[in-house]
Amino acid sequence: MNDSLNNQEADELSLRELIEQYSRYWYLFVIGVIIALAIAFIYLRYTPQLYQSKATIIIKDEKTQSPLEMAAFSQFGSFLSRFKSNQIDNELAIFNSKRLISETVKELQLNIKYEVMGNIKTSEIYGSKPFEVKFQSFNDSLSREKVPTLYIEILSDSEFIIEDETRSSKATYKFGESISLIFGDITVLPNLDYAERFESYINKTIIVSYKSVEDVALSFQDRVNILNADAKSNVVELSIQTQNKEKGEDFLNELVHQYNKDAVQDRNEIAKKTSAFIESRLQIITRELDSVETNKEDFKSTNRLTDIQAEAQITLENASEFNKRQLDVSTQMELSSTMIDYMKNSSDSELLPSNIGISNENVGSAVNNYNELILYRNKLLQTSTPKNPVVKSVNEQITQMRGNILGSLENSKNALKIAMKDLNIQENIISSKISQVPAKEKIFRGIERQQSIKEKLYLFLLQQREEASIALAATSDRAKIVDSAYGSQEPVSPKKPLIYLGALLAGLLIPFGGIYGFHLLSTKVNSRKDVEKHIKTIPIIGEIPKVLKGDSDLIQHNDRSIMAEAYRILRTNLQYLFINKLEESEKGKTLIVTSTIKGEGKTFVAFNLALTLALTGKKVVLVGADIRNPQLQRYLPEHLKTNKGLTEYIVHSDMKVEDIISQSEYNENLSIVLSGAIPPNPAELLMQKRTTTFIDELRNNFDYIIMDTAPSMLVTDTILINKLADITLYVVRAGYTDKRLLDFPQDAIKDGRLSNVAIVLNNVKLNNFGYGNKYGYAYSQEERSFLQRVFNR
């Protein structure tokens, strides 16, 4: 549980430190926001405002148009494939085509731009132009793209001045006169529709710029937006953003008009071509129809036909009748032959069959008579003998009659054979006619079919010609306007709330990013926390604030500044370090002030610490122990800078400590020993026994001995005399010392090269300072301006 509490406290501390890291630079955020909002205001003030104009239309589907309009075109397949297309994307491409937009620009003369010159920016004039420039002609030697910009200043309601874009030459002209310029001829005509506003433009300069229609069309093509929001419908929304709302509305309305005009022209062109096509086909069909009818007439004349079907029916009926007659004759011939054979094979006493179907009535009557005679004879024989004269007479009659019947049958059979022969001949003739009927009928039907096709096509073309004529006279617009173009009341760009919000965010984010980047990329020590993160085993006993411009480098008498209080805190913390460090004695306490590299302020810290200790009434001596690059002289008056110092004392054994000690003019309790002349062998010199003797003598005479030594990492001097000190003050300079150099004192302590080390953080900015104003405690009664307080000056 303790671990979780510690982690929670650590997280809260990290968050608080993070907030403090940025909040201490609050003035940068304020300045950033003010600058960003000012830039946004200037941008909004001088950036042209854009208004959005919209128009909504419905593109008619050709399949839903009236039959009169489309009947003439729906039958011709690929010739009219465009009008059968139901793909709205094709029409959107036409709307946004350079050709159509160029026609719109040309119609509205949008390639000629009028602007009134202001003090800072120019504003476009549209609609209420005081005059209109007519470009009558252009010189062939010059391209229209090189037409210069004209600057026209209106002098009165009748005169004006024209300058070219170089503003090198100008001339005065009258409205309405033809003006010859280097690129061609122009005429400037006053706009009488806005005569009441003409006076407002007097003595103002109007900029007239001419661009090619193609360039302006490309510009509009990039800006116009054509959208079919619902793929299932033909509703299309057109929109464009322009500086002038009226200009955008006129452009969209004219674009729709040009689209309808283009569609009508296309359909009229198709109707004209259709009519021409129909006329040419009618001429061909008429000739072909005449040819077919002539062929039909010749075929009937050649084959002596009136009605081929009726005549074929008659022929078939005749054939059936002949077949029946042939059957009857054949039957009669068979009956006659049977009767003849029967008579030849039978006796005279036998009866002959009667009513067997022989059609010869004489034969039938003769047979009946013959049979009656037989019966009569048989009756006679029943009562008489064959020799009876009556019986003989009857037998004679029977014999004669039998011969007659047989002769009649023979004659009838021969007649039937002749009749059968004639019937066969007639049958062949009729069969021949019947066999010719299908071929003739086929040929005749082919002729009639051709005639029917030609007649129907002829009638169809006549109908289409009339419908095409009607459609040509009654062509409607392709695009139905749902909403004419209308512009927004408020500008859509630039959007003020969004710009100001973006500026506010930028004003906050840019300083935030700068601070974050600075801390991310910075390798320098900036605050106490940076030191504590790298060095956890060495205590930090003091933070020295940065000396501001105009402030004194040294502690003054009765000084209540933040720097003076910082040194007092350092002095107090030193007392705790000296506890248990030395045995109770009257000898002075020795401090070494060193740093990692040159320039970290060890001499500055040593001198002010000596002054602070001297203010308590203690006797303090400040020793310039940096005999390689002495810096203590810069805090002394000129007459003391030439005094002998530590180097001479070590070299000359007869010299006494009193010979090199100088009284400081800053405090009567402070004495100074300079480093002396720079020796050729400083390390070997400090290793002399005289160095230890020097320190021992100072301990006997002073309460505190503060030694300003050389940088520890650069030279070995400090390491050599470190054993002589009770406390080693290691100076780290904020904004100067590299964080990577903080590893050196840790390694030196670990290796035993330095001992009893405490860190003093020098040159700390007030916004990183750990005491004082952070808690609302004022160290000075000095009055500062607002800017000085803001920037910690």
Q: What is the mean pLDDT of residues 654-661?
A: 89
- Domain presence at residue 276: no
- Model pLDDT for residues 589-601, shown as the tens digit of each residue: 999 999 999 999 9
Most confident of 12-26, 109-123, 538-552, 697-711: 697-711
In a shared domain, residues 662 and 780? yes
Rounded to whole angstroms, how far apart are CA atoms 655 and 576? 36
- Domain presence at residue 301: no
The pLDDT-based confidence of 66 (bands split at 50, 70, 90) is: very low
In a shared domain, residues 243 and 206? yes
Q: Confirm whether pTM is higher than 0.75.
A: no
Asked which of 213, 245, 269 is the last residue of a domain, the reply is 269
pLDDT for 581 beyond 90: no
In a shared domain, residues 383 and 352? yes
Note the pLDDT of residue 308: 54
Please indicate whether residue 457 or residue 481 has the higher confidence score (pLDDT): 481
DSSP string, 33-96: HHHHHHHHHHHHHHSPPBEEEEEEEEEPPGGGS-HHHHTTTTTSGGGGGGGG---HHHHHHHHT
The pLDDT-based confidence of 630 (bands split at 50, 70, 90) is: confident
Asked which of 269, 299, 321 is the last residue of a domain, the reply is 269
In a shared domain, residues 574 and 682? yes
Indicate the number of domains in the chain: 4
CATH at 548: 3.40.50.300
Note the pLDDT of residue 583: 47
- Domain presence at residue 746: yes
pLDDT for 76 beyond 60: no
pLDDT for 79 beyond 50: no
Q: Which residues form the domain of 75?
A: 55-269
Contact call for residues 154 and 190 (beta carbons, < 8 A): no
CA 42 from chain center: how many Å? 30
The pLDDT-based confidence of 775 (bands split at 50, 70, 90) is: very low
- Domain presence at residue 547: yes
In a shared domain, residues 517 and 534? no
Phi, psi of 134 (to 5 degrees): -100, 115
Integer Rg of the chain from CA: 68
Q: What is the mean pLDDT of residues 592-611?
A: 92
- Model pLDDT for residues 337-390, shown as the tens digit of each residue: 777 777 777 777 677 676 666 667 677 777 777 777 777 777 677 667 777 787
In a shared domain, residues 367 and 228? no
In a shared domain, residues 138 and 172? yes
Please report, to the nearest 10 degrees, the dihedral formed by the alpha carbons of residues 617, 619, 625, 631 taken in order: 40
- Domain presence at residue 483: no
- Domain presence at residue 294: no
Note the pLDDT of residue 774: 47
List strands edge to edge, sheet with 704-708.
540-545, 757-764, 727-733, 589-595, 704-708, 620-624, 670-673, 661-663
Rounded to whole angstroms, how far apart are CA atoms 506 and 496? 15
The pLDDT-based confidence of 31 (bands split at 50, 70, 90) is: very high
Rounded to whole angstroms, how far apart are CA atoms 154 and 174? 10
In a shared domain, residues 765 and 783? yes
In a shared domain, residues 86 and 159? yes
Q: What is the mean pLDDT of residues 403-428?
A: 76
- Domain presence at residue 387: yes
In a shared domain, residues 125 and 110? yes
In a shared domain, residues 503 and 586? no
- Model pLDDT for residues 131-141, shown as the tens digit of each residue: 889 888 888 66
The pLDDT-based confidence of 422 (bands split at 50, 70, 90) is: confident
- Domain presence at residue 480: no
Rounded to whole angstroms, how far apart are CA atoms 793 and 642? 36
Q: What is the mean pLDDT of residues 217-238?
A: 87
Residue-averaged pLDDT of the chain:
79
H or E element that contains 344: helix 308-345
Q: What is the mean pLDDT of residues 158-174?
A: 80
In a shared domain, residues 27 and 123? no
Note the pLDDT of residue 39: 94
Q: What is the mean pLDDT of residues 58-66?
A: 64
